Chain A
Amino acid sequence: MLYINCPHCGMRSQNEFSYGGDASVKRPQLNKEISDKDWDDFVYNRKSLRGKHLELWQHISGCRQWIKVERDTATHEIFRTFKADEEVA
């Protein structure tokens, strides 16, 4: 079970969180023309990365905040975690 450092609450076990997918996906702006391909990329197409992956988790049984977690998908190593509004450098 992963041990995730919630930037709001501290170290918490994985069973308090729910997974939210790739954090690098940006929702297209509302009311803007968008091509079929770009929309499909946003809705469906995800890379199944091996290695470092920035992903979303929600601390659903805790502070309910969505956070960003930088995790290695092969080793499960967690490098850094960020608040939702924090820029990832």
Chain B
Amino acid sequence: MTQAFRIENGGLINREKKISFKFNNKSYFGYEGDTLASALIANGVHLVGRSFKYHRPRGFFGAGVDEPYAVVQLYRNGETEPNIKATEQELFEGLEAKSVNCWPNVNFDIGAINNFLKIFLPAGFYYKTFMWPKSFWYKIYEPFIRKAAGLGVASTKHDNERYEHKYEYCDLLIAGSGPSGLAGAYAAAKNGARVILAEDKPRFGGSLLTSDVNIGNQSGKDWAEGIIAELKTMPNVVVKNRSQIFGYYDHNMLVMSEKVSDHLPATKKYHPNKRLWYIRAKEVLISSGSIERPIVFGNNDTPGVMLSSAAKEYLKVYGVLVGRKPLVFTNNDSGYETAIEFKKHGVDPVVLDTRKNPVSEIIDEAKNLGINIKNSYVVVAAQGYKKVKSADIASISEDKKQLGEIENLQCDCICVSGFWTPTIHLASQSGNKTKFKDEIDAFVPGVSKQNETSLGAANGVFTLDETLKTSFKAGSELSKKLTEKDNEIAIPNVVEKKSSQHDKFWCVPLPKGKNYKRFLDFQNDVAVSDVEIALREGYRSIEHVKRYTTLGMATDQGKTSNLNGLQLVSEIENKVVPAVGHTTFRPPYTPVSIGAIVGREVGKHSKPTRKSPMHEWHEKNNAVFVDAGVWLRPRYYKKGNENLFEASKREAKNVRTNVGVCDVTTLGKIDVKGPDAAELLNRVYTNAWLKLPVGKARYGVMLREDGIVMDDGTTTRISENHYHMTTTTAQAANVLSHLEYYLQLVWPELNVNVVSTTEQWAGAAIAGPKSRDLLQKLFPNSDVSNEGLPFMGYIEGDLFGVKARIFRISFSGELAYEVNVESDYGNFMWEKIIKVGEEFNIQPYGTEALSTLRIEMGHVAGSELDGRTIPYDNALEGLVSKKKDFIGKRSLQRSAFTAEDRQRIVGVVPLDKQTSIPEGSHLVKDDKAQLPNPKLGHISASCWSVEYNNPFSLAILKDGKNMIGQKLFAMSPLKNKVIPVEIVSSHYVDPKGERVRS
């Protein structure tokens, strides 16, 4: 296949290397260095999609980030990505892309019927129409809108690509590698500053790649290449292409998305697809350039109508002609530059200039080349459906209100230039108060709020000479402040052609009797008439106009449409543009892959995985693990074909009859040391702590200041001024912060230090009637009798040469101990316990059995201490001291907390003694009552009682104290269950607590 629109020579592509690709299932080829857009245009393909609302044919409008039309679905290496701009996607071997937003295909799109119904689809149509009847929404309107309004299709597969995050610091960050960015970066680098220069395109140089200028006796492009080459050799400089700085956040933090692999057929092994840089810069130079804006005329969305600067870029960078009979429509000198390039390549353009008699060096050159120029002329409307075939043109009166006789001019593309809009997005995001500059009819940065400086075109400076001078100066002075070095740089001599003043004209009036659609926003099909409707209906704020009409929304965020929209509003409202103001610029400047934002923190990497020192043993012994906070804990140890229920029942039963061992390493542990340690505990816990003797443990409950239980656990007095505090696994970090808060801010006079020791100790809970016998064998030299180590006692022992802490505490309600050794000996301890325990029929038990044991004992845990309960609710009011003050005590006097019918923990047993009650079920008096059925309480935890061999649950129940013996219903609409139940005491097993003391 020949590339009909590729010129013989020229461009920056590599003609040595052909690249084949597919678009809409048809094969084409392009060259290395092409974008998908340039390669398609070279092949004469101009129809790439359908518009959002009316499904009108869409071509290419720009050549880069501003592209509103050419959004495609990309297929690469078995993956698919939606909403890729063809103008940004570099060509690679085997690339496949498809049009979006058209069905059944781009050439014949059923949705285009909207185009003929467009009278029914003006601004606000969806808002007004789809409101009624209500029942139509889900079945008719919503699916219809979904089908019609979608852009690309997101992949539903797991994304196998890898995305990285990187944190970086620098003196100067420079956004954009055009003339101003290069000059600023170079001057700063020469002063020894740490510089990061970011360019979103693959090629450095910005406008220098396409402009006809000389810097220091070489072409602009060669000068740029020289500067980049030198910067790359400097150790204090990082130069990055394919890297878009898309957000300017607080305190000079900017975020950049680096496309590492998108230009390759497949991501290289160990490489990320994208890398997100968080850059904290001392100074930021914004050299983001400017974007050409269109002039609005009839059917200005027809494929073949494009920005004049884009046509020039396709020609100069890619060697591609956007047409062979170009019409250039301009209100300034930029159009002439494009016309001159066409002419130089043997194509005869026609230039329509809205100005009457402009004079400048550029225009002179065009005239000398014999280019056909028509002054005071405008394009009234483009003709052609899937591609421009001709243009209706007319002369225009000096006041720009009257059109002359309409003439038809054959052409195959219309290159339009309505002057330039500085790219002020980053500056505005930084908090810069932008201002309107009349000379260029656009907003420019004003007063900075952060350390940023806009340079060159981004600052509304459109001459190269001034751009280079100010940029060298800015780079030099800002870096001088930071490095205290001042290496003077000779500013090179610049040769450029002078331009004449542009014309403020931006919108061609409608000829009499014609009702052409004149589009402002090409991606969202927002026409002049839509904005007129919005204003007629009373929308005044530009932010409201934007949302009502969708002007400036979607993936291009109105890069080409915003300013014309403001012009229109200001004209209708009879205001000046700055009085209308612009909508807020928000990051990201361009769409950023969600994958890049998430980075590596996906799936199992979304949080760290912590494992106990005994983890490998658990794995070898068929443990099935469960996430407990960030920890992995054995849920049960599978034997044969057992399921969770069978295994946990077996394990729990063995604890009640023999002895079990459970890995409790994950419990939070805090060392509390200092002469005032007891006083701190006394203030933090609800019960009294001042008289706890050395060698004793005590159970404690701590509250938040609002009286809600924060955490519970045992704390042991190891020595005079040394306590070992335990917390629940989940609350460990919060409790430490809580203690630090009171020690550092509220009671700094207390002489206490706290430090987390969670990871320093490995823990094993040994529970069951035979646990003392086992313990004695493990510690033959220690007295572990009921007298030597009574309930809540603590001793230190020697475990086969390893120093161990032995606590007689119990969560299971059985006679139980907890042995701690230094983490490194955790596995040693575990294996000894299992080995020595064999003769007592020891079995390891997991968290499921642990829950069963605590539930039937009525011991509370996280499901009861859920941030909504006070001590009374958990039957812990006996631990609340009446004598001393403590954190949260005053709140317990609140009337709701002291109400007679206050909620309280109870036990729940199904009447049939068979049906397990789903956790979260509601307790109600009458299962047939009208909805909403008053809820009396909820099931907080459920188990199968191994003691009584029937289901048992705990519940937090209103007036629980007086409900024992009552019959209620547990309802779970989610599981569609209604279970008649009886309320019993929460202490289902061993209510007197004799076993733990035995």
Partners in one complex: yes
Knowing A43-B891, A85-B748, say if A2 contacts B251 (CB, 8 Å): yes
For B888, give the chain A residue with the smallest CB separation.
A43
Let me know if B745 is at the binding interface, CB within 8 A: yes
The CA of A88 and the CA of B891, in the complex, are separated in Å by 29
Residue of A nearest to B682 (CB): A30
A26-58 interface mask toward B, CB cutoff 8 Å, 1 = contact, 0 = none?
A: 011011001000010011100000000000101
Q: Which of B252, B449, B886 contacts A3 (CB 8 A)?
A: B252
Please report the C-alpha to C-alpha distance between residue A75 and residue B249 in the assembled complex, in whole angstroms: 11
Q: Which of B705-727 contact A (CB under 8 A)?
A: 705-706
Do A58 and B740 have beta carbons less than 8 Å apart?
A: yes
What residues on A are CB-neighbors of B167 within 8 Å? 13
Q: A3-B280, A18-B737, A43-B891 are in contact. Are A66 and B744 (CB under 8 A)?
A: yes
The interface residues of chain B lying within 8 Å CB-to-CB of A34 are: 890
Q: In whole angstroms, how far apart are the Cα atoms of A33 and B5 in the complex?
A: 89
Q: Mark A59-81, 1 if CB is under 8 A from B, else 0.
A: 01000111000000001101000
Contact size class for B? 20 to 34
Q: Least Cβ distance of B609 to chain A in Å?
A: 18
Chain A contributes a number of interface residues (CB within 8 A of B) equal to: 26
| A89 lies within 8 A of chain B by Cβ | no
With CB as the reference atom, state the residue of chain B lying closest to A56: B745
Taking CB atoms and an 8 Å cut-off, the chain A residues in 5-36 that contact chain B are: 13, 18, 20, 27-28, 30-31, 34
Beta-carbon contact of A20 and B891 below 8 Å: no
Say yes or no: A39-B891 contact (C-beta < 8 A), given A66-B741, A84-B745.
yes
The reply on B616 being an interface residue by CB < 8 A is no
Compute how far the CA of A75 lies from the CA of B705 in the bound complex, rounded to whole angstroms.
31
Bound-state CA distance A60–B734 (Å) is 11
Contact with A along B677-688 (1 / 0, CB 8 A): 000000100000
Smallest CB-CB separation from A32: which chain B residue?
B885
Is B124's CB within 8 Å of the partner chain A?
Answer: no
CA distance A60 to B250 in the complex (A): 21
Q: In the complex the two chains form, is B885's CB within 8 Å of A1's CB?
A: no
B745 A2 Cβ-Cβ under 8 A:
no
Q: Mark B906-920, 1 if CB is under 8 A from A, else 0.
A: 000000000000000
Q: Report yes or no: A43 in contact with B745, Cβ–Cβ below 8 A.
A: no
| Min CB–CB distance B882 → chain A (angstroms) | 13
B744 and A84 contacting across the interface, CB-CB below 8 Å: yes
**Partner among B431, B683, B706, B737 whose Cβ is within 8 Å of the Cβ of A75:** B431
B278 interface contact, C-beta 8 A: yes
Complex partner residue of A1 from B250, B431, B449, CB under 8 angstroms: B250
Interface: B253 (CB within 8 A): yes
Residue B117 CB within 8 A of the other chain = no
Min Cβ gap A44→B in Å is 7
A27 adjacent to B706 (CB under 8 Å): no
Interface residue B140 (Cβ < 8 Å from any Cβ of A): no
| Docked complex Cα distance between A30 and B746 (Å) | 11
What's the minimum C-beta distance from A30 to chain B, rounded to whole angstroms?
4
Residues of A within 8 A of B886 (CB): 30
User: Least Cβ distance of B233 to chain A in Å?
Assistant: 30
The reply to whether A1 and B278 form a contact with Cβ atoms under 8 Å apart is: yes
Of B249, B252, B449, B746, most buried by chain A (CB within 10 Å of CB) is: B746
Chain A contacts of B249 at CB under 8 A? Answer: 1
Residues of chain A lying within 8 A (CB to CB) of residue B891: 39, 43
The smallest C-beta distance from B680 to any residue of chain A, in angstroms, reads 12
A76 close to B251 (CB less than 8 A): yes
Q: Is the CB of A1 within 8 A of B741?
A: no
What residue in chain A is nearest B707 (Cβ atoms)?
A43
Residues of chain B in range 739-759 having any CB-CB distance to chain A below 8 Å: 740-741, 744-746, 748
B449, B740, B741, B890: which has the most chain A beta carbons within 10 Å?
Answer: B890
Contact with A along B230-255 (1 / 0, CB 8 A): 00000000000000000001111100
List chain A residues, Cβ under 8 A from B748: 84-85
Nearest CB of A to B704, in Å: 9
Cβ of A44: which chain B residues have Cβ within 8 Å of it?
A: 706
B890 lies within 8 A of A3 (CB): no
Q: Is the CB of B278 within 8 A of A42?
A: no
> A43 is contacted by which of B253, B278, B683, B705 (Cβ under 8 Å)?
B705
Chain B residues near A3 (CB-CB < 8 A): 250-253, 280
Report the separation of the CA atoms of residues A16 and B745 in the bound assembly, to the nearest whole angstrom.
Answer: 19
Query: Which residues of chain B come closer than 8 Å to A76, judged between CB atoms?
Result: 250-251
Q: Are A58 and B280 in contact (CB under 8 A)?
A: no
Whether B449 and A75, one on each chain, are in contact in the complex, defined by CB atoms closer than 8 angstroms, is: yes
Distance in Å: Cβ of B460 to nearest Cβ of chain A = 25
Closest to B705 in A: A43
In chain B, residues 650-691, which have Cβ atoms closer than 8 Å to a Cβ of chain A? 683
Enumerate chain A residues within 8 angstroms of B737, measured Cβ to Cβ: 18, 58, 60
Chain A residues close to B by CB (< 8 Å): 1-3, 13, 18, 20, 27-28, 30-31, 34, 39, 42-44, 56, 58, 60, 64-66, 75-76, 78, 84-85
User: Which B positions have Cβ atoms within 8 angstroms of A?
Assistant: 167, 249-253, 278, 280, 431, 449, 683, 705-706, 737, 740-741, 744-746, 748, 884-886, 890-891
Enumerate 5 A-B pairs (CB-CB under 8 Å) in ascending A order: A30-B885, A44-B706, A60-B737, A84-B745, A84-B748
Can you name 16 extra interface pairs (CB under 8 A) apart from A2-B250, A31-B885? Answer: A2-B251, A3-B253, A3-B280, A13-B167, A13-B280, A18-B737, A28-B890, A43-B705, A43-B891, A58-B737, A64-B740, A65-B744, A66-B741, A66-B745, A76-B251, A84-B744
